[in-house]
């Protein structure tokens, strides 16, 4: 057990220090687990969640086609026509980013909305930094609202056997979607207060963005509809959701090729699939399979059970706020991937249903990334967009929005889950 813990700890430290090489480090560590026999060859396939990998790949490809169609820009234009000033523009853009992020990857959401915010700020000659930060943190928040909103939500849904509708209504109770929306309402108030000095009027009469193709929007909406429909199918294959996402992507690629008659029309969307995220997850699945086989997960669950003394409220509180703190500095994907089996073992040890702890983990890990500039991929993406546009983002700029936003979102969710699922 000690070698497995040591390798796992060293891998995490290296991923933290050398963030650019995180996928390669995870894959190398997974390979070491296999070579050393800590992950037997017969358990490799069982350790990999192919459903998660296929869902991520398929959705990212569809989003690339969606962005290319310019539909997100048109939707943003329609929103901007309705707002009276810059203050409300910031609130609406943040809420709009959150709505999209509930169904689309957080990074893709930032990439869709940030250019619109930059153009608005240039026309109004106002600082775009707080706008982009607000969009990024809103995207992170709403990523936990639905099964397809974020990688961590996909991971939880796959691990716990949750369907798309289970994120809305689970075990006869209002589920995580409503906790996220409660947090979104309060955090929108925070954005409104933070932008209280931005009272400049929004110019009207600008021409709307012209959508070049409505098919990608139909395919993305179709993906959501099919995921909902699949949730009603009993005893379906474990990779059903992944097959749906990939099948819709194939349809989109075939359509794009028939329309443009070029190989690049197929290759371009495929290039937008984040192979590094997929590689990172693959390595993590292998690592977790290795430490699970070596008994580390069970030992961690028993340790947490002893520390909590069987007090479910204490354990729930520790999981939520430790997740917020850890995810503020460490990417939430490896953290959630590590903690899911720990929580399952912990719940089994205590003889309780794991739902409360699962939801506490997801909400804490998702929102904790909003505390710091490096806490989530969407934050890093937004800051990168600002830097390319000539704007430097100080830590204080991010903390000013990220920390109060996180607290406004996590506290009501923390109370909500306890009173509903305890």
Banded pLDDT at 301 (limits 50, 70, 90)? low
Give the integer Cα–Cα distance in Å for 416 and 286.
34
331 pLDDT band, cuts 50/70/90, is low
The average confidence (pLDDT) of the chain is 85
Extract the tokens encoding 87.
């203050």
Instruction: Kindly list the domain boundaries of the chain, sorted by start residue.
Output: 2-421
Within a 13 Å sphere around the CA of 178, how many CA atoms are in the beta-carbon half?
13
Give the pLDDT confidence score for residue 67 in this predicted structure: 83
Both tokens of residue 248?
């819709």
State the angle between helix axes of 355-368 and 395-421 in degrees (0 to 180), rounded to the nearest 10. Answer: 170
379 band by pLDDT with thresholds 50, 70 and 90 = confident
Contact 86, 195 (CB under 8 A): yes
Res. 168: pLDDT tops 80: yes
- Average pLDDT rounded to a whole number, residues 389-418: 88
Is 0.85 topped by the overall pTM?
no
Predicted confidence (pLDDT) per residue in 104-124, tens digit: 777 778 877 887 788 778 777
With a CB cutoff of 8 Å and minimum separation 6, the contacts of 209 are 70, 73, 74, 76, 77
Interatomic CA distance for residues 141 and 181, integer angstroms? 9
Which residues lie below 8 Å from residue 154, measured CB to CB, with a gap of 6+? 52, 55, 56, 147, 148
Residue 236, pLDDT above cutoff 90: no
Indicate whether 73 pLDDT > 90: no
pLDDT in tens, 111-167: 778 877 887 787 777 888 998 999 999 988 888 888 877 778 888 988 888 888 899
- Does the pLDDT at position 242 exceed 90? no
Taking each continuous run of H as one helix and of E as one strand, the counts in the chain are 20, 2
Of 78-87, 197-206, 219-228, 406-415, which gets the smallest average pLDDT?
A: 197-206
Confidence of residue 305 (pLDDT cuts 50, 70, 90): low
pLDDT confidence of residue 360: 92
Lowest mean pLDDT across 23-32, 66-75, 228-237, 348-357: 228-237
Residue 419, pLDDT > 80, answer yes
What pLDDT shows up at residue 417? 94
- Whole-number pLDDT of residue 224: 79
Q: How far is CA 145 from the centre of its chain?
A: 10
């Amino acid at each position: 057990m000690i070698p497995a813990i040591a390798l796992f700890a060293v891998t995490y430290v290296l991923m933290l220090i050398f963030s650019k090489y995180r996928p390669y480090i995870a894959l190398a560590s997974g390979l070491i687990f296999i070579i050393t026999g800590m992950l037997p060859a017969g358990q490799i396939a069982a350790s990999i969640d192919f459903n998660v990998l296929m869902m991520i790949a398929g959705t990212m490809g569809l989003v690339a086609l969606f962005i290319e169609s310019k539909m997100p820009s048109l939707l943003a234009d329609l929103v901007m026509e309705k707002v009276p000033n810059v203050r409300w523009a910031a609130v609406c853009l943040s809420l709009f980013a959150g709505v999209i992020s509930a169904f689309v990857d957080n990074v893709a959401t930032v990439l869709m909305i940030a250019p619109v915010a930059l153009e608005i700020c240039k026309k109004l000659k106002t600082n775009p930094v707080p706008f982009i930060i607000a969009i990024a943190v809103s995207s992170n928040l709403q990523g936990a609202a639905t099964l397809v909103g974020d990688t961590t939500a996909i991971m939880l849904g796959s691990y716990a056997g949750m369907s798309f509708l289970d994120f809305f209504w689970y075990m006869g109770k209002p589920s995580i979607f409503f906790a996220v929306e409660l947090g979104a309402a309060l955090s929108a108030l925070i954005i409104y207060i933070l932008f209280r000095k931005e009272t400049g009027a929004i110019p009207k009469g600008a021409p709307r963005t012209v959508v070049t193709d409505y098919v990608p929007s139909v395919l993305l909406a179709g993906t959501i509809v099919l995921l909902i429909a699949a949730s009603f199918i009993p005893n379906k294959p474990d990779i059903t959701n992944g097959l749906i996402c990939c099948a819709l992507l194939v349809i989109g690629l075939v359509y794009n090729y028939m329309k443009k008659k070029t190989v690049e029309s197929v290759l371009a969307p495929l290039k937008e699939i984040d192979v590094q995220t997929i590689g990172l997850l693959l390595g993590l699945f292998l690592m977790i399979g290795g430490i699970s086989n070596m008994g580390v997960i069970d030992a961690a669950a028993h340790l947490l059970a002893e520390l909590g003394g069987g007090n479910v409220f204490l354990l729930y509180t520790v999981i939520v706020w430790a997740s917020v703190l850890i995810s503020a500095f460490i990417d939430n994907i490896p953290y959630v991937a590590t903690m899911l089996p720990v929580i399952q073992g912990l719940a089994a040890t205590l003889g309780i249903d794991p739902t409360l702890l699962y939801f506490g983990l997801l909400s804490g890990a998702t929102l904790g990334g909003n505390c710091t500039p490096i806490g989530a991929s969407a934050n890093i993406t937004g800051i990168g967009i600002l830097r390319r546009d000539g704007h430097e983002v100080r830590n204080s700029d991010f903390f000013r929005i990220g920390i109060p936003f996180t607290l406004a979102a996590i506290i009501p969710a923390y109370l909500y889950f306890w009173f509903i699922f305890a």
